[in-house]
Amino acid sequence: MIRTKFLAVLLGPSGIALFGIYGSITEMVGTMAGLGVGTSGVKQIAEAYGRGNQRELAKTSQTLRRVSVFLGILGMAILILFSKPISQFTFGNTDYADCLTLVSLAVFIGAITNGQNALIQGMRRIADLAKINVLAAVFGTAATIPIIWLWGEKGIVPFLIVFSFWSFLASWWFSRRIRVEAITISWKETQKEVRGLIELGFVIMISSLITAGTFYLVRVLVIRQLGLDNAGLYQAAGTLSSVYAGVILEAMGKDFYPRLSSNAENNEACNQMVNEQVEVGILLGVPGILATITFAPIIIRLFYSVRFVAAIEVLRWLILGVLIRISSWPMGFILLAKGRSKIFFLTELVTNVVHLGLIWVAIKYFDLVGTGIAFFGMNIFSWLLMIGVARHLTGLTWSAKNIRNGFAVLFAVGIAFLGGYILSDLGSLILSILITMGMTAYSVKSLIRIVSPAGYRELFIRFKSRFSPPMNR
């Protein structure tokens, strides 16, 4: 977030908007060229690792590394060839075509990095993935901040390239430490492995492309209808809304997905794991979500600047959508774990079409705030859709704990959110702080009991024995 503050002060809303749109284009092209082999590679590696099949693990790993390089070159070529049409569609002119050509290097580097990360994730080396993220953030920021300081907006593209390179280095350092059996794979075996990766990965790619393309089109709509500065405000609110929840959702993807894939044929085990993941996700997420609603004005000024205060209300609506997403996210992994790629594709397609439709309408009636309202509405729709799909596939029902937690969280968040519209600023702040403190205590207490059923009781006994006076014998 230090990097975000620095960029916001130096570049303002328009510069942040350029970061966002370049990032969307990079993600969209990278997703298209990647063919979903990163996600399908995680599944195959996790299955081979779970069975202890070292040869299969080595074949998938080696194939994944090779195909990642090829797909990176493909993605770079696509962005170079279509840089002018993309610039024209996005900004209404071709002035940004040269910048997009240079950004293609980030697409190439990102494809190789994703291949390396898939191996690490599939083998459930979650600690290594966390270290990669930290190292990439620390060293990448240190290496790129001087670029913006010296060049301003002209340094955005070099910033993205250098930062992606540091992510690659961090990923390479940890992936090379994984000992995989050295084998020679024939061209026919390689073709078979690639075919297996692409069969599942292609549909995942289409689904991911729909999501990436939707967020790209949302930014294009905001730029075209509300201007580059408003696009920067939307980008700022979106970044802040995803920071806290992003850690939780990423952890689900890194650890929960491989575990679920290992038990994909056992519906009862799947349902239990989904319930556990939703419970932990909500308990971890609600304190940060309430804090964001409560202190949105302070957060915007702290991490950006006073030039971004118009993003406050957008942030509050976006964070409501994040709350719903945390509870629906684990259900989506059921489809991937079971290999139900067609259903996964259809759910993603319908959800993103709904998102675009809501954005189109909401911007017209609510201007910039409409982007947040549309995101919230889309997540409500997605949650209802995924419940129906999960019940059809595994007979999923919510546990009593999740029902209880759900009502408590919805009531608390709803009161804190509506207080901002009904009460005075001071009254709303005091009420929201009290609710945040209460729900944080509730979450911590519940998490302790999950980690160790006797944990809360043990802590209480230790506290009591430390501060209670000794008894006379």
d(CA 139, CA 169) in angstroms, rounded, equals 10
User: What does the angle CA 109 – CA 111 – CA 112 come to, to the nearest 5 degrees?
Assistant: 70
**What's the whole-number mean pLDDT along residues 268-290?**
89
Residues in the chain: 473
Is residue 346 scored above 70 in pLDDT? yes
The average pLDDT across 300-307 equals: 83
Nearest CA among 37, 34, 54 for reference residue 123: 54
Residue type (1 letter), 67: V
Q: Which two tokens stand for residue 462?
A: 């230790």
Percent share of the chain, pLDDT over 90:
24
Q: Of residues 171 and 142, which shows the higher confidence score?
A: 171
CA distance 424 to 431: 10
Question: Residue range 458-465: average pLDDT?
Answer: 47
Rg (CA), the chain: 23
Helix (H) or strand (E) holding 253: none
From the list 79, 84, 103, the residue with the least C-alpha distance to 95 is 84
Lowest mean pLDDT, pick from 176-180, 324-328, 383-387, 408-412: 176-180
Helix intervals (H) in 227-295 = 228-251, 257-262, 267-294
pLDDT digits (tens, 9 = 90+) for 330-342: 888 888 788 787 7
Q: State residue 154's pLDDT score.
A: 84
pLDDT > 70: percent of the chain: 88
**348 or 97, which is more confident?**
97
Provide CB contacts within 8 A for 3, sequence distance 6+.
137, 141, 144, 145
pLDDT per residue as tens digits for the range 189-217: 667 777 767 777 777 777 778 878 888 88
Stretch among 58-72, 81-95, 187-201, 225-239 having the lowest mean pLDDT:
187-201
Q: What 8-state DSSP symbol labels residue 424?
A: -
Indicate if the pLDDT at residue 224 is higher than 50.
yes
Q: What is the mean pLDDT of the chain?
A: 82
Q: How far apart are CA 16 and CA 375, in angstroms?
A: 20
- Provide the pLDDT for residue 473: 37
- Tens digit of pLDDT for each residue in 384-395? 999 999 898 888
Q: Is the pLDDT of residue 458 over 70?
A: no
Please determine, for residue 465, whether its predicted confidence score (pLDDT) is greater than 60.
Answer: no
